[in-house]
Amino acid sequence: MNKVSREAIKQLIEAEDNTTLSLYLPTHRFPTSEHIAEDKIRFKNLLKAGKEKLKSQGVDDGTISQVVGNLQDSIYNNAIFWPRTTEGVAIFCCPAGVQYLHLPIECDEHVSAGDTYDIAPLLAIAASDRPYYLLALATRNPVLYRGDMYGLERVAIDLPKSPEEALHIDELYSHSNTMRAGAYGPGNPGAKSHGQGDSKQAGQEERLKFFRLIDEKLLTSKLIDKTMPILLAGTDDETSGYRESSHSKRLLESGLSGNYTDTPAHEIHDRAWPLVRSELCEPEQAQDIEKLQSLLGTGRASLENQMILAAANGGRVDTLLIGFLTKTKDSIGDGDKTVTKLAFSSEYKNDKLSMSARSVFDHGGKVVGVLKDGMPSGAGVAAIYRY
């Protein structure tokens, strides 16, 4: 999978030519043959629109034929490409060749042509990515995943398999009068005899010890990035027990309730990513908008497209906010759930926003995609200046 990242965007820029075509295409994740046929029709229609845009800009027929031929060979006729799509794809072509990046969210159909690639949507998407771990808790075979906005991958870490194996006991819930190590009792200063009725408590103590061993593994393993947050998935008893026993400072407040040790990774991600985005991304965006509103009228922020472009070209823009996102029904997957979609407004199509985003990126600024409904005064773009 070709993922959107700042590094991937830099490589894309380095490869662009004076004649470029940028296509944003909604596609299907886990497509059927019918989905593939539908996606290829969309692509064909976008390619036709791109060809017309190049003609309108005075590009010669030979160059247009080369660009179109590259896209047909590398994308349309590529039997490997179409079965491996995600919710969308951004495709970039110049006479030298074709590059593409998979998108983690649904997008509008969009085509642009010019002397540079249209990377603004990629920058907005990259700003919302947050790598994280998901720990699927259970007293049998817990699983650790590494996740991002695209999905989850299992981490090859040797977690304790069960309390019995990890603590060297016969069974989790002790029978009455079973001797347990670690406490005091008659004739055994290192053992305690559990009387009738407290075997459940004994089992709880052992489960907490088991969770501490998992926690210690995550805190000490060289396979684990100690800076990344951890989302817990498990029953309410399991997640509360783990929080009680954990020494980690990186546990997210939200979590998934239920047993997810045998659930397919993509189904877990569908539930997990909205929680991660809500806890980590959306508060940051809210802070950016609050800061913007506090600076409007002071000369340190603007909602005016032309003024923002001039400031971006001069390296003055610290944060560029674009109302790229909208909430809508899943039109591509034909589902009933509400999804976040990359949408191209009429303000965006005048190219000034794309040019502003490119300049902000070139000068080390931040481009953030936010919900259109959350933009001040319904503006399509807003900027916070460095000075």
Average pLDDT over residues 342-346: 84
Average pLDDT over residues 184-209: 55
Task: Output the six-digit token pair for 13.
Answer: 């820029």
Residue 304 binned pLDDT confidence (cut-offs 50, 70, 90): very high
Residue 178 binned pLDDT confidence (cut-offs 50, 70, 90): very low
* pLDDT tens by residue, 20-67: 999 999 999 999 999 999 999 999 999 999 999 999 999 999 999 999
Among 323, 339, 314, 357, residue whose Cα is nearest residue 116: 357
User: Residue 177: is its pLDDT beyond 50?
Assistant: no
Between 236 and 196, the more confident residue is 236
User: Residue 19: is its pLDDT beyond 50?
Assistant: yes
pLDDT at residue number 197? 46
Domains 1-118 and 132-274 agree in fold: no
Between 119 and 164, the more confident residue is 119
Q: Where are the domains of the chain?
A: 1-118, 132-274, 296-387
pLDDT at residue number 172? 59
pLDDT at residue number 201? 60
Between 173 and 258, the more confident residue is 258
**Structural contact between residues 22 and 111, judged by C-beta atoms closer than 8 angstroms:** yes
User: Residue 110: is its pLDDT beyond 60?
Assistant: yes
* pLDDT tens by residue, 224-256: 999 999 999 999 999 999 999 999 999 999 999
Q: Which CATH class is domain 132-274?
A: alpha beta
pLDDT at residue number 162? 86
Beta carbons within 10 angstroms of residue 48's beta carbon: 12
Q: What is the CATH number of domain 296-387?
A: 3.30.1330.30
The reported pTM is 0.85
| Amino acid residing at 381 | V
d(CA 151, CA 144): 13
User: Residue 385: is its pLDDT beyond 80?
Assistant: yes
Q: What are phi and psi of 253, to 5 degrees?
A: -70, -35
pLDDT at residue number 332? 64
* pLDDT tens by residue, 250-294: 999 999 999 999 999 999 999 999 999 999 999 999 999 999 999
**In this structure, which topology does domain 1-118 adopt according to CATH?**
3.30.960
